[in-house]
Structure 1
Amino acid sequence: MLAAPGAVVVGIVAALLAGAFTEAFAAPGTGLLDPGVAVRLGLPVATLVTELSMAVTVGSLALALFVLPWREPSDGVGFRRALVTAAVGAGVWAVAGLVQLVLEDANIAGMSLTDPAFGQQLGVFMTQVAYGRTLLEIVVLAAVTSTLLLLVRTPTGTAWTALLPVAALSLQAGTGHAAGTSSHELAISSLFLHLLGASVWIGGLATLGVVFWAGRGSDGGATVRRAGTARAGGARPDLAAVVGRYSQMALWCLGFVAVSGLVNGWIRAGSIDGLATRYGVLLLAKLVLLVVLGLIGYAHRTLVIGRLGRDDARPRGLFWRLAAVELAVMGAVMGVAVALASSAPPVSEVVGKDLTPSERVTGHVLPPALTPTRWFTEWNWDLILTVACAAGVVVYVGWALRLRRRGDAWSWGRTASWCVGMVALWWTTSGGPALYGHVLFSAHMAQHMVLAMVVPIFLVLGAPVTLALRGLPARKDGSRGPREWLLILVHSRWGQFVANPVVSAVLFASSLIVFYYTPLFSWSLHSYVGHLWMVVHFTGAGYLFANALIGIDPGPRRLGYPQRLILLFATMAFHAFFGVALISSETLLVPDWFGLLGRTWGSSAIEDQQTGGSVAWGVGEIPTLLLAVLVATSWARSDEREARRKDRKAERDGDAELRDYNAMLEKLAERDTPPR
């Protein structure tokens, strides 16, 4: 299949032409050091190869984890071929990334590769410059990924290994344009979504070609044969099924790429006028190419995929021709993206000298004084969490409608509860709590309480795991879809352990101390990754605790209702103790953050921290009361169900249980009655 190398060639040509248009690779002006034409033209080529190999790695892993069969009834040839493709892609990624690192240093320093001092300069760049260290970390992660993928043989091992390239993507997102501006969190989150969506989309399509085209038989690619054999019976992934699953992933990726691209482009362009610049023209060209890709995907879904299962070679031929064109356009898109990354955007990325204390510490202008209204009118958008909440609502409602279409009932109350939880999560992470939680400890504690104690209640009442297991289709071809992965997670030893009521309660309570009295709190303030970890951890810990008390989702054996209430009040007592400790404390947490913001409104930093202790103690009482009411209500309903069950049983057997009990009492009375 020549489409993959053809896409690389198209990408290189597109990168060089787009770079020539913006003069990104031209010789620097008078007085500036020139690293030489080899560095200036070699850097975009190395960058393009790095990003394409990164896409192949991530896309191959996505196909192996969610699309391709790995066990009976298939013998897993496609799965193994995808892992080999990912390993080769990661190896190329590591080598190309190392070349990119060297050329980046030469370009930044304005030094030729043959300069005698360049070796020392490169060592300084890799060890003492943050950008150089990040590029080196990405190279190391790619190399380790390549090595591990040659050793793993199961989807579970593949899933753990896939965390490494995802971590590399997060590092890559922090090196792009606008990552150092006042919109750096939004820029990083949008670029990460862009890289992830594009990688799964491009790399997945390229891997389809490797899995099917390289092993095609006379059926035009419907059969994957074992290397060195003529066997076709066992090694036959269904092309129609595989392409259909990939098409679903590609549709989501199109949405991720489109939304994140628009957000990131707007950050760099700054305004409509910015689109009139050469940089803006390239942005529009990239948008047009993205629309073309969407149209090709639409053609796949409407003209080809539904006909692939038929005994007809023409749909398969049309699919591969469209795939070749799609890969070529994808190469052009990535080439334009490389040129954009090397071009100066209309919005200056040079950090000004006259920064306020808040801008020096947080990277943001200090927001206006907090008022009750501004909790709901001020925003600090987090694109990753916004997309996650929107996707959560769309997927959940889709599952519920699927059940109703096939005649199964699903409570609208549970659907409403889930949607309320998602909206609350979105507001907490993108609204007033997110903005003011960065500058006020009390606001941060309010954000924490909502994440850990309010949002989980609504999510648990939505019973998402139960709905997913009923609404998701089961795979029967040896592959693992979302339903299979969910079952594995729920029934795994780790899943059973953390969902245990006592363990979840300990995790829920101890996280307060561990988080706020260790460097984790500072990490969550200084790092966007740390902030995401905080949101996921506290929401997840709250979900596990609430599910142990009031949930119906599958999990370990729940405690009796009296024990649940005891566990609830014991945990909340720990929360109260934590709040009292903060109220009485005279030591400021993370003083290099909250103590250096230069706020001219509100109380002092230590007084605000003590207010945060009151929030932890007082605000937590409301969710606690709600949980107690829900546990008591569930207890009463359980007793009612048990009474109705006994009444039905009594009607069937004539109340045999009561007769046996009365007979037992009569025997006891006769035994205890003395003879006359």
Structure 2
Amino acid sequence: MTWTTALTAWSWHPAPIAAMLAFGLWYALRVRKLRRAGGTWPASRIVWCYSGLGSYALVTVTSIGAYQNVLFSVRAIQVVTLLMITPQFLAHALPARLARDTATPATRARCSRILHSAAMRAVTHPLIGVLVLLGVPIALYGSGWYEAGLRSHWTSELTQAALLIAGAHYFWTRLQRDPVPKLYPHVVSVGLTFAEVALDVIVPIALLMSGSLVAADYYLALNGAGGLPPDTDQTTGAAVLWGLGDLALVPFLILSMQQLRRRDKEHAAEIDAQLDQYQRAEQRRQNPTATAAETAGTAAELPATMRPWWEDDPNVAAHFRWTQQKPPQDG
């Protein structure tokens, strides 16, 4: 593949084009419906949506789509994009929330029952998402699935759909910004993302160290039509799977850590508010005639004889080891 063919070769397959146009049109119409009803929808989500569709078009309609059956490395770019980049962009567009906010009350109630069912909670467990994200590439490159996609157009289309569904499942349940069956702590998401960065090297390392070609008969029959020897092409593709896969997870990891930090701040603010509430209640108990302005003081304004509430609460005191020893009694 030369620079000229990279810029001029296009793949006009109807299925990806129709899917892209249908989703883009649906999203635009739903946003317009929501805004006409008086709702708001940030422009950033619209940008995420069409950036995701743009990444999908990049690997299915351009020269990447045209050469996906010629070069192993080009198909590797498509695999990573459809599994980890396009679904991540679309997840930030919050399509499920948009559908919910523009649905009729009856449809919303029916979908809510399905969403919060036991089956949905089971299939959206974080560990299921991790297994799917790691398992799909292993199954693709470790079986005859990959070569079947090279030899059959419809198998190739179904493979692309499977990659998109696996990625959408993962990022939808892990971002937790769209409606989900159950919310999990962000610390779980951060920990699992670190694990995925470490484990997604399984397929690239296997390709680099196997000493054999994936779909060898198919690629050898092309006689170097793509301009690279098959072994060099596979090595390049393994590097793409490794490097691009890790890079695709970096923004998600950063976002997960930001969400974790934001949640910690919110939790700290909630605790401060509870402490203030207990403090005012204790002041009112000690001085029932005090006005609201007088009870709004700080802990430093409490009488010296007044003990903070947490020293008298046995659960809190034991947890923080603040229980003080009682003074000895006379006699």
Given the alignment of the two structures, is residue 552 of structure 1 paired with residue 183 of structure 2, yes or no? no
In structure 2, relative to structure 1, the CA distance for the partners of 1:459 and 1:656 (3 Å cut) is farther
Q: Hey, what does 2:59 align to over in structure 1? A: 428
Task: Mark the runs of 5 or more structure 1 residues left unpaired by the alignment.
Answer: 1-368, 476-480
Distance 1:491 1:604 in 2: 51
Equivalent residue letter for 1:405: R
Kindly state the Cα deviation for residue 557 of structure 1 after the two structures are TM-superposed.
2.6
Equivalences for 1:605-620 in 2 at 5 Å? 605-620=230-245
What's the C-alpha RMSD, in Å, of the aligned pairs? Answer: 2.8
Out of 590, 602, 605, the residue aligned to residue 227 of structure 2 is 602
Kindly state the Cα deviation for residue 642 of structure 1 after the two structures are TM-superposed.
2.8
Q: Hey, what does 2:81 align to over in structure 1? A: 450
Post-superposition Cα deviations, 1:515-550, rounded to whole Å, max 9, x if no partner, equal 112121122122222112111111111111122322
Distance 1:438 1:578 in 2: 20
Given the alignment of the two structures, is residue 418 of structure 1 paired with residue 49 of structure 2, yes or no? yes
For the residue of structure 1 that corresponds to 2:178, the secondary structure is coil
Post-superposition Cα deviations, 1:260-284, rounded to whole Å, max 9, x if no partner, equal xxxxxxxxxxxxxxxxxxxxxxxxx
Given the alignment of the two structures, is residue 578 of structure 1 paired with residue 203 of structure 2, yes or no? yes
Q: Hey, what does 1:506 align to over in structure 2? A: 131
Kindly state the Cα deviation for residue 668 of structure 1 after the two structures are TM-superposed.
5.7
Given the alignment of the two structures, is residue 661 of structure 1 paired with residue 292 of structure 2, yes or no? no
Kindly state the Cα deviation for residue 637 of structure 1 after the two structures are TM-superposed.
1.8
Q: Report if the CA contact (8 A) 1:461-1:551 is conserved.
A: no
Equivalences for 1:159-558 in 2 at 5 Å? 369-371=1-3, 375=6, 377-475=8-106, 487=112, 490-491=115-116, 494-558=119-183
Kindly state the Cα deviation for residue 463 of structure 1 after the two structures are TM-superposed.
1.2
Distance 1:484 1:671 in 2: 56
Equivalent residue letter for 2:310: Y
Kindly state the Cα deviation for residue 583 of structure 1 after the two structures are TM-superposed.
1.4
Equivalent residue letter for 1:410: W
User: Which stretch has the larger CA shift, 498-507 or 561-570?
Assistant: 561-570
Q: Hey, what does 1:563 align to over in structure 2? A: 188
Kindly state the Cα deviation for residue 596 of structure 1 after the two structures are TM-superposed.
0.9
Kindly state the Cα deviation for residue 409 of structure 1 after the two structures are TM-superposed.
2.1
In structure 2, relative to structure 1, the CA distance for the partners of 1:445 and 1:669 (3 Å cut) is closer
Kindly state the Cα deviation for residue 493 of structure 1 after the two structures are TM-superposed.
5.1
Q: Hey, what does 1:201 align to over in structure 2? A: none
Distance 2:201 2:65 in 1: 24
In structure 2, relative to structure 1, the CA distance for the partners of 1:520 and 1:410 (3 Å cut) is same
Post-superposition Cα deviations, 1:223-271, rounded to whole Å, max 9, x if no partner, equal xxxxxxxxxxxxxxxxxxxxxxxxxxxxxxxxxxxxxxxxxxxxxxxxx
In structure 2, relative to structure 1, the CA distance for the partners of 1:601 and 1:450 (3 Å cut) is closer
In structure 2, relative to structure 1, the CA distance for the partners of 1:497 and 1:671 (3 Å cut) is same
Q: Report if the CA contact (8 A) 1:418-1:458 is conserved.
A: yes
Kindly state the Cα deviation for residue 624 of structure 1 after the two structures are TM-superposed.
1.6
By relative contact order (CA 8 Å, sep 6+), the higher-ranking structure is 2
Kindly state the Cα deviation for residue 663 of structure 1 after the two structures are TM-superposed.
3.9
For the residue of structure 2 that corresponds to 1:583, the secondary structure is helix
Q: Report if the CA contact (8 A) 2:279-2:309 is conserved.
A: no
Post-superposition Cα deviations, 1:268-326, rounded to whole Å, max 9, x if no partner, equal xxxxxxxxxxxxxxxxxxxxxxxxxxxxxxxxxxxxxxxxxxxxxxxxxxxxxxxxxxx
Post-superposition Cα deviations, 1:31-56, rounded to whole Å, max 9, x if no partner, equal xxxxxxxxxxxxxxxxxxxxxxxxxx
Post-superposition Cα deviations, 1:444-478, rounded to whole Å, max 9, x if no partner, equal 01110011111111111111111101112244xxx
In structure 2, relative to structure 1, the CA distance for the partners of 1:604 and 1:656 (3 Å cut) is farther
Q: Report if the CA contact (8 A) 1:500-1:556 is conserved.
A: no
Kindly state the Cα deviation for residue 382 of structure 1 after the two structures are TM-superposed.
2.2
Post-superposition Cα deviations, 1:107-156, rounded to whole Å, max 9, x if no partner, equal xxxxxxxxxxxxxxxxxxxxxxxxxxxxxxxxxxxxxxxxxxxxxxxxxx
Distance 1:418 1:601 in 2: 33
Distance 1:650 1:669 in 2: 18
For the residue of structure 1 that corresponds to 2:75, the secondary structure is helix
TM-score (norm 1): 0.41
Equivalent residue letter for 1:586: G
In structure 2, relative to structure 1, the CA distance for the partners of 1:440 and 1:495 (3 Å cut) is farther
Equivalent residue letter for 1:639: D
Kindly state the Cα deviation for residue 420 of structure 1 after the two structures are TM-superposed.
1.0
Q: Hey, what does 2:305 align to over in structure 1? A: none
Q: Report if the CA contact (8 A) 1:385-1:429 is conserved.
A: yes
In structure 2, relative to structure 1, the CA distance for the partners of 1:494 and 1:534 (3 Å cut) is farther
Q: Report if the CA contact (8 A) 2:311-2:322 is conserved.
A: no
Q: Between the two proteins, what is the percent identity of the paired residues?
A: 23
Q: Report if the CA contact (8 A) 2:176-2:183 is conserved.
A: no
For the residue of structure 2 that corresponds to 1:641, the secondary structure is helix
Distance 2:23 2:208 in 1: 37
Q: Hey, what does 2:266 align to over in structure 1? A: 641
Equivalent residue letter for 2:51: V
Distance 2:172 2:21 in 1: 22
For the residue of structure 2 that corresponds to 1:554, the secondary structure is coil
Post-superposition Cα deviations, 1:340-390, rounded to whole Å, max 9, x if no partner, equal xxxxxxxxxxxxxxxxxxxxxxxxxxxxx244x755543112212212111
Out of 321, 325, 331, the residue aligned to residue 671 of structure 1 is 325
Distance 2:312 2:118 in 1: 48
For the residue of structure 2 that corresponds to 1:671, the secondary structure is coil
In structure 2, relative to structure 1, the CA distance for the partners of 1:375 and 1:645 (3 Å cut) is farther
Equivalent residue letter for 1:506: L
Out of 242, 247, 259, the residue aligned to residue 622 of structure 1 is 247
